[in-house]
Amino acid sequence: MSKSFLLTVILPVPGINLTLATELFLLPVPKYTILFDLAIIIVFAKAFGIVARYLKAPQVVGQIIAGLLIGPSVLGLVDQSQFLLQMAEIGVLLLMFSAGLETNLRDLMKTGLKALAIACAGVFVPLVGGTFLYMGMYGVSPIGSLDFYKAVFIGVIMTATSVSITVQTLRDMGKLKGEIGTTILSAAIIDDVIGIVVLTFVIGMTDSSTNPMKVVGNTVLFFILAVVVGIVIYVVFKKYDTSHPHTRRIPILGLALCFAMAYVAEVYFGIADITGAYVAGIILCSLKDSDYIAEKMDINSYMLFGPVFFASIGLKTDISGFSKSLIVFCIGFVLVALITKIVGCGLMSRILGFKGTSAIIVGVGMMTRGEVALIVAQKGLSAKLISSEYFTAVILLIVISSVITPILLKLLYARMDRKLESK
């Protein structure tokens, strides 16, 4: 019912003043559209997430497609708003906090130098490959220029590894607890840590007024602070966890720590807030109730903030400006991202003593991409290092790597088993 119709009906009524009626019906109407937007996002994200899972693809892919469908590019049911952006940011922090909580420091220390070396190679080779891909398509830029850091950032997106698909595949095959499975898992964890550090450095360097040494210094200082303060916080949490086991106060305090570390990282050190959230998770990952904290975090993330974040990726993905050059870039991006992971991690595994097929398995196991790649891309968009249409390339990478990795792993393990049987 329109305002003009209401005025037409009311004005003839005796006793109703024109000025009063006008004031009543022309006052700003409270905007509750955000509630309807959230309802649409949650329903579509979950529905498409279920479809994706049914098709053996990551649920996040379905949620991103849902955001693309309901966004301005297709149906136009939901527009990106400041409120949704802020909710998506909280979703990112919760995801990184949960990733930190799920880190197993003991497994990390067991594989030690091997996993570290493989992770370093798995970051360096894709970083270089992505940089050269961008420069090859859009031209070489001077070191230190904004275009140079845009090129580097494409490489940064390629560094992130998500082994959720790999882990599930190895578990189904009974290969997760072997040397190869443990190495892949540990290297992936270290890979993300290094990738986040590189992300922090690149974003810090994009400001022309920023001193490179200051960026390095702030990064080092933050991690020193994280270690010192982290030990103190861990001791306090451990004592409280012992005296009050499995109490809901612990997840609440953990969430407060997540937001506090994110704030300190961003405001006082100029480091990406996701780094602080991730570190907060690592600080608490060795607690007895770390799984309990992760479980409570997952409720918030799974039901609301996670779907909003992934749907917001779709909302921001612009397919209207899709061109031949962008299609070529997307194809190149996917190929380079997959090949550089296999080459970097595979060669380093070979150097460290893994036999032929085993080394390739490590490389293939490290090539899946997921949430972290999207989070990194999101940070690049916020820092104006990439535009929204490049999300298409990241989404394609996640889908293709998630589909082909299980197939390749099964083929490679079958080949390795045949070789063992023939001996």
pLDDT in tens, the chain (423 residues): 444 433 344 344 444 444 444 444 444 444 677 888 888 888 888 888 888 878 766 677 788 788 888 887 778 788 777 788 888 888 878 877 887 787 767 766 666 678 889 989 999 999 999 999 989 888 887 877 778 888 888 888 888 877 666 666 676 677 766 778 778 877 877 777 777 778 777 777 776 555 667 767 777 888 888 889 889 999 988 888 888 777 888 888 888 999 999 899 888 887 777 778 888 888 888 888 787 888 888 777 777 887 888 787 777 766 666 677 788 888 999 999 999 999 999 999 999 888 888 889 889 888 888 767 777 887 787 777 877 777 778 878 877 887 788 778 888 888 887 776 676
d(CA 423, CA 403): 32
The overall longest dimension of the chain from CA atoms, in Å, is: 102
Pick the CATH number of 104-302+326-411 from 3.30.559.30, 1.10.1270.20, 1.10.1740.10, 1.20.1530.20: 1.20.1530.20
pTM of the model: 0.66
CB 407 within 8 A of CB 383: no
